Amino acid sequence: MISGEKIVQLVSGLLQQVYALLGLSAYAGILDRVVCAVVMFGFVAVFVMFLVWMERKVSAHMQSRIGPNRVGPLGLLQTLADAIKLTTKEDVHPVKRDKIPYFIAPILAFVATFMGMVVVPFDNKMVVADLNIGILYIIAITSFTVIAILSAGWSSNNKYSLLGGFRSAAQIVSYEVPLVLSLVPVIMITGKLNFSGIVQYQQQAGYWFVFPQFVAFVTFIASATAEANRAPFDIPEAESELTGGFHTEYSGVKFAMFFLGEYVAVVVSSAVAATVFLGGWLPPFPFLGFIPGFLWFMLKVLLVIYLIMAFRWTFPRLRVDQLMDFGWKVLIPITVLNILVTGFVVLLAGKGA
């Protein structure tokens, strides 16, 4: 039977032999991490290309259109063509920009979200680094995106960019609160911050957290959509009001980095949702266990991503004040109440850590 653990063992065994062949066995620890990073980058790049295609197909389906269908079978290679076009474009930039932040911002925007992929468990033991504080790590490292967006908005020396940057930062900072708070009940029940540990708890308990914590799941998805600046929460970009938001003045590869970062943010939040609420690599029923865990995991991630995409093409964009009201007056009270109720239940059941 194929499992993530066996694949990891096979690949790492193979890598050891390659290192020995090249006489680099002494640096195996570092080289392993380099290989992990490269593989993860390749995976993310290809997966995001697929997601862009999927997004266009989903939107086309919801609007009774066909969507991309010219390049490759079913239009699958359309995104590849777009990506090549984007990377070979001339890099146009404003003369009066603030050079250093302007250069750093797109890199930071991508790297900050990409770093989150490090702790995502694809299968049992199939994870780059199974940190003890996995959840906290993802929350911490992705907070760099705020700085990236503010830098981009500021350094472009353009009032639309600046406004977009402001709105985006305010939005991310506000929605980070319900995002974190909706994960707290699960942490309270399991007593763990480690992703694999949370999945193992769900395996032993025999249920996924989406059932007892459905409220938390809904608030998590809503705040994750807002965190990723996606419609209906895409005010920072709001094409009709701000031309392009904080990345108005970016083109070519730099624009592609922002674009990639945004999709990676969606992937990371969906992976967190799939792991914490949908049982990660666990099959829905034990008799389906013959299908390898990482396929189940990817299926769940795609399901959550589909949900987020369906949101985008269903709901109209919120106004700035509605957005802030929704975050502070609806989501945060619900999550806090949920934490209180869960705390009582955990106390009564006496299974607190």
Partner 1 sequence: MTQALFYILAGVIVASALLVVTVRNLFHCALALALTMFGVSGVYLYLGWEFLAAVQVLIYVGAVTVLIIFGIMLTRQVMDDKARVMNNQVLLSLLAAGAVALVLYLVIGHSDFQYSNHPALTAAATAPAAEASAYADEVSSLAAGLLKPQNGFAFAFEFVSILLLSALVGAVVVARKDPS
- Residue ranges in contact with partner 1 by CB under 8 A: 29, 96, 98, 100-101, 104, 130-133, 136-137, 139-141, 143-144, 146-147, 150-151, 153-155, 157, 162, 165-166, 169, 173, 176, 193, 353
| Cα dihedral across residues 172, 178, 179, 184: positive or negative | positive
CB of 125 to partner 1, least distance (A): 11
**Residues 6 or more apart in contact with residue 5 via CB below 8 angstroms:** 123, 124, 125, 126
Nearer to partner 1, 70 or 96 (CB): 96
CB of 77 to partner 1, least distance (A): 39
**CA–CA distance from 70 to each of 17, 25, 42, 87 (Å)?**
44, 48, 25, 21
CB of 163 to partner 1, least distance (A): 11
| Cα angle value 96/98/101 (rounded, 5°) | 150
Nearer to partner 1, 165 or 244 (CB): 165
Nearer to partner 1, 82 or 176 (CB): 176
**CA–CA distance from 106 to each of 151, 221, 265, 297 (Å)?**
9, 25, 14, 29
Nearer to partner 1, 85 or 159 (CB): 159
Nearer to partner 1, 32 or 298 (CB): 32
Tokens of 142: 């992705």
CB of 332 to partner 1, least distance (A): 13
CB of 147 to partner 1, least distance (A): 6
Q: Which of 294, 279, 299 is nearest to 201 (CA)?
A: 279
